[in-house]
Amino acid sequence: MATFVQGPVRVTVPATSANLGPGFDSLGLALSLRDELSAEVVESGLEVEVTGEGADDVPRDESHLVVRAMRAAFAAMAAEPPGLRLTCHNVIPHSRGLGSSSAAIVAGVSLARALVAGGQLLLDDAALLRLAADLEGHPDNVAPALLGGFVISGREAGEWYAVKAGVDPRVAAVAFVPATPVETKKARELLPAVVPHADAAANAGRTALLVAALAGRPEHLLAATRDYLHQDFREPAMPESLALVRALRADGIPAVVSGAGPTVLAFCDGVDDSLTGRCPEGWAVHRLTVSVDGALLG
């Protein structure tokens, strides 16, 4: 029978940006916006408190994504708490392409493991990644949310993999966040089933260049973030985002749609503050650094 720790456990989880232009469903970067959550085992029932982003929209019952992730992790450890109290302070915008659902999943599995005595032995880091990726359906956001930094991820022979790569300390980013969300499912429905071989080859080259550019050659980020596979096809769902991407890129700024959008992510030098003035009216702007840490307990 599982033993649970006394008192609350706490975790912070970073926002993430996936795709990064050509790295469709394979590249992800942890960013310095972080959700803060705490959970504890109580005698009975379920209590969910939410403040911040999405507080008016998310459920307070078993369908809450953090709760669902916690239940999956408890099941994997053969542990069933009598009751739970969960508190979420959300900073990551919801349905904007900054990994809010992945942050919720990673927070849930991390909290559940921390609440079980010996949880690290019952559910090691590799198992935690597998569980989070299974829940999300793909690893490109959950991997950097869990591990931090820049992560290359995917699936091989039925198993998820995630490999961290270096990020030059000069690399920072600005996120331009529209007021209106876009559902990932709707954005994916706009993608074609087949693309020309030449476009696929061009994207493969840009993806390889992007790994090198982020690692230490940021002068190549503009060319490295050119995408041929997904961004333009999604324009009907987010025309203002694609217009901003093109305007920034025309001025030599490496800009991409973040994840499935509609947020636009622009890479910059860590000391460059000029980009914030490019924010469209009614949008929010966030000056961000790369988060070297993923989910952090304590």
Which residues are annotated binding-site positions for ATP? 93-103
Phi, psi of 96 (to 5 degrees): -125, 5
Query: What does the alpha-carbon distance between residue 230 and residue 247 come to, in Å, rounded to a whole number?
Result: 18
- CA quadruple 181, 185, 186, 192: dihedral positive or negative? positive
Query: What does the alpha-carbon distance between residue 87 and residue 177 come to, in Å, rounded to a whole number?
Result: 25
Region for residue 164 given its phi and psi (left: phi exceeds 0; alpha: psi -120 to 50; beta: otherwise): beta
- The secondary structure of 254-294, three-state, reads CEEECCCCCCEEEEEECCCCHHHHHCCCCCEEEEEEECCCC
What DSSP state is assigned to residue 22?
A: T
The two three-digit tokens of residue 60, written as one number: 């307070």
The two three-digit tokens of residue 212, written as one number: 């090198």
214, 150 contact by CB (below 8 A): yes
What DSSP state is assigned to residue 13?
A: E
115, 40 contact by CB (below 8 A): yes
What DSSP state is assigned to residue 298?
A: -
Pairing of strands 159-165, 45-52: unpaired
237, 262 contact by CB (below 8 A): yes
The two three-digit tokens of residue 201, written as one number: 């080859």
290, 150 contact by CB (below 8 A): yes
Q: Which residues make up each annotated binding site?
A: 93-103
153, 139 contact by CB (below 8 A): yes
